[in-house]
Amino acid sequence: MHRTLITAIGLFLVSAQLKAAESPQVLADQFVTLLRYEEQYFKYREQCIATQRTVSPSALVAKNPDYFGGIRPGQKNWQVLVAAYEDYFQEACSRPSKSEFLGALSASYAKALSTQQLKAAIAFYSSPTGLALISAHRTATAAVYETWTSINGKHLTEATARFQGEVVRLVQSK
């Protein structure tokens, strides 16, 4: 009787572990890993920083000399201001964190797809064709980020200067 109870408990624990391993969330985590979304997260973060760098403090001052309260290139505090500006964008681009980014993707897949769909997707993307699609997707994503940075960078300085001009007008009209 004692041995039967231990065997039953053991089978229950193994069954519970197998069920947990097949839960939508666990499968979604595997799917996100398989699709290499971690790489996309790092590309996203790089793109964020690259876009922000297209709007240099010098470019902002060229559009509006009082953008930084009158601090201009060559002045005493200019290098400190440039360093603070870089720190600002590093911080601004640090969120979502990698775990927040991957967790949001994984939760979305777990909610949108059934266990069977996730298993089928994992099987497909583990195949040669699926792996080729993952590689092609990475290449396409990199191209999109490059285009985004280029196009966005051309317009961001002007948009930022217009916004700063509006702020100045609002302050003056108080």
Could you give the CA distance from residue 109 to residue 27 in angstroms, rounded to a whole number? Answer: 9
Residue 7 lies in a domain: no
How many other CB atoms sit within 10 Å of the CB of residue 27? 23
Residue 17 lies in a domain: no
Residue 85 lies in a domain: yes
Residue 80 lies in a domain: yes
Residue 18 lies in a domain: no
pLDDT digits (tens, 9 = 90+) for 114-127: 999 999 999 999 99
Share of the chain above pLDDT 70, in %: 87
pLDDT digits (tens, 9 = 90+) for 114-166: 999 999 999 999 999 999 999 998 899 888 878 887 787 777 777 877 888 88
> Among the residues of 23-127, which ranges form H helices?
24-34, 37-53, 57-63, 78-92, 98-112, 115-126
Would you mind telling me the total number of residues written for the chain in this entry? Answer: 174
Amino acid at position 143, single letter: A
pTM, 2 dp: 0.66
Residue 55 has pLDDT above 50, yes or no: yes
As a 3-state breakdown, the chain gives helix, strand, coil percent values, each rounded to 5, of: 80, 0, 20
Question: pLDDT band for position 44 (50/70/90)?
Answer: confident
For the ranges 2-6, 19-23, 51-55, the lowest mean pLDDT is seen at 2-6
Residues 6+ apart with CB under 8 A from 145: 43, 44, 46, 47
Instruction: Taking residues 40-53, report their average pLDDT.
Output: 84
Residue 14 lies in a domain: no
If one counts the domains in the chain, the total is 1
Q: Which domain holds residue 137?
A: 23-172
Could you give the CA distance from residue 87 to residue 90 in angstroms, rounded to a whole number? Answer: 5
How many other CB atoms sit within 10 Å of the CB of residue 126? 12
Instruction: Taking residues 44-65, report their average pLDDT.
Output: 84
Residue 16 has pLDDT above 50, yes or no: no
CB 61 within 8 A of CB 73: yes
